Amino acid sequence: MSDPSTILTAGTPAPDFTLHVTPDQTVSLSDFRGRPVILAFYPNDFSPVCGDQLGLYNEILSEFHKHHAELLGISVDSSWCHGAFASNRRLHFPLLADFEPKGAVAKRYGVYREHEGTAARALFVIDGDGIIRWSYLSPVGINPGADGILEALEELDSHAGAKA
Amino acid sequence: MTTKQQGTLRPEVSGRDHTIGPATAAITLVEYGDFQCPHCRRAHGVLPRVMKRLGDRMRFVFRHFPITESHPNALHAAEAAESVAAQEGEKAFWQMHDLLYEHQPEWEDAQDDARILELAREAGAGPDVVAADLDSDKYEEHVKADFMSGVRSGVNGTPTFFINGRRYDGDWTSVDAFVAALEEAGP
């Protein structure tokens, strides 16, 4: 299911969703209309490596914020698990629980791995109008860096500049 | 959209970098590393054997990539290494680089810079100068510039290696596998 041909690509409207961010709070993609959103799908909380993908993004949040972009992490873990993970890794961005029905959002974005029962490592940059502007499915076992995200955000900024 | 291939080193290796080995070497290996990262410490155990196998065919470059949210002492360790380099030159930098990894358990959880300063002294630098440089954040910008170059190059954790400018996602824990990947890149 994590075949690159199935991942939603640039130009596609990003499917809206509402997911738990804490046990008693939800967020919707549409809440962020008007500003870019980075969606970072990842397999599971508590991966055994330090300095990994989410730790890296956490470290460079200010770079994303320069582009007024909001970073949202998504995995199939529950919001309770996300809470423990975020506090353990000192993550300063929301982690969404694609928990019930499991992986439903990952499936709609074409990045669910049926066999493993988790999302793939996949990235989407969505513009302020809710259109996917860039997407990337990382090969299994390889963390994507942030270079592609930053390029996509810069591209968005330059288009916004051209329009203005 | 004109997107470069992800995982491409930029900027290229230049005079501001810390390098070991001939500039004319066919193979250039760049590491983005964090002195407080246990995986980087492990890589530090592998690299000397890799370099020995490849000899003059290879040049090694170290750039800073401190992940400070999880490694609170990593930034000062990197800045201290820069201070040592500014005072005593490249040989002392590499000595400090080695000392920081070898003694990592002694300073990683420390509440102050005392052990790092002792290591700077061992590397031949004046610990008072290093302490003052840390206080004034003299090399913070230098370290952060390395960090951002890593982000723009597609660093995806530490350590991240680039072989002749391309990110290497293969095995670096085995000397044989690492040497084979490096040999593939150069004549």
Contacts of A33 (CB under 8 A, 6+ apart): A128, A129, A130
Name every chain A residue with its beta carbon within 8 A of the beta carbon of B156: 52-53, 56, 142-145
Name every chain B residue with its beta carbon within 8 A of the beta carbon of A151: 3-4
CATH number at residue A61: 3.40.30.10
Q: Minimal Cα–Cα distance from A64 to chain B, Å?
A: 12
Alpha-carbon distance B72 to B82, whole Å?
A: 17
Res. A5 pLDDT band, cuts 50 70 90 = low
Task: Please give the DSSP secondary-structure letter assigned to residue A30.
Answer: G
- pLDDT exceeds 80 at position B3: no
Q: Give the whole-number percent of chain B exceeding pLDDT 70.
A: 98
Q: Which residue of B has its CA nearest to A140?
A: B169
Residue A62 lies in a domain: yes
- Which residues partner with A71 through β-bridges? A38
Cβ-contact A54, A40 below 8 angstroms: yes
Per the structure, the count of domains in chain A is: 1
Instruction: Average the pLDDT over B94-118 and give the result.
Output: 98
Q: Which of A49, A50, A162, A164 is catalytic?
A: A50
Contact B156 A145 (CB under 8 A): yes
The pairing of strands A132-137 and A70-75 is: unpaired
At A117, give phi and psi (nearest 5°): 75, 30
Instruction: Average the pLDDT over A83-107 and give the result.
Output: 95
**Nearest 10 degrees: CA dihedral of A13, A70, B8, B177?**
-100
Instruction: Average the pLDDT over B82-92 and give the result.
Output: 98
Res. A161 pLDDT band, cuts 50 70 90 = low
Instruction: Average the pLDDT over A89-105 and give the result.
Output: 96
For B175, left (φ over 0), alpha (ψ -120 to 50), or beta? Answer: alpha
pLDDT score for B173: 95
pLDDT score for B78: 98
- Which residues partner with A19 through β-bridges? A27
| Count of other CB atoms within 10 angstroms of residue A66 | 13
- pLDDT exceeds 80 at position A96: yes
Residue A11 lies in a domain: no
Give residue for tokens 């670096």: B172
The reply to whether B25 touches chain A by the CB within 8 Å rule is no
Residue A6 lies in a domain: no
Higher-pLDDT residue of B185, B102: B102
Domain of residue A158: give its range: 18-163
Q: Minimal Cα–Cα distance from A15 to chain B, Å?
A: 22
Mean pLDDT of chain B: 95
Instruction: Average the pLDDT over A17-27 and give the result.
Output: 96
Give me the helices (H) in B15-168, please: 38-54, 74-88, 90-102, 104-107, 114-122, 127-135, 140-153
Alpha-carbon distance B136 to B133, whole Å?
A: 5
pLDDT score for A162: 61
CB-hemisphere CA count at 13 Å for B9?
A: 21
Domain boundary assignment for chain B = 18-185
Instruction: Average the pLDDT over A131-139 and give the result.
Output: 94
Mean pLDDT of chain A: 91
The reply to whether A50 belongs to the active site is yes
Res. A49 pLDDT band, cuts 50 70 90 = low
Contact B67 A147 (CB under 8 A): no
Cβ-contact A69, A37 below 8 angstroms: yes
| Count of other CB atoms within 10 angstroms of residue A65 | 12
The pairing of strands B160-163 and B27-33 is: antiparallel
For residue range B55-74, what is the model confidence (pLDDT) as tens digits? 999 999 999 999 998 899 99
Q: Which residue of B has its CA nearest to A60?
A: B151
DSSP A113-161: ETTTTEE-SEEEEE-TTSBEEEEEEPPTT----SHHHHHHHHHHHHHHH
Residue A1 lies in a domain: no
pLDDT score for B4: 57
pLDDT score for B60: 98
Alpha-carbon distance A59 to A43, whole Å?
A: 20
Residue A147 lies in a domain: yes
CATH hierarchy code of domain B18-185: 3.40.30.10
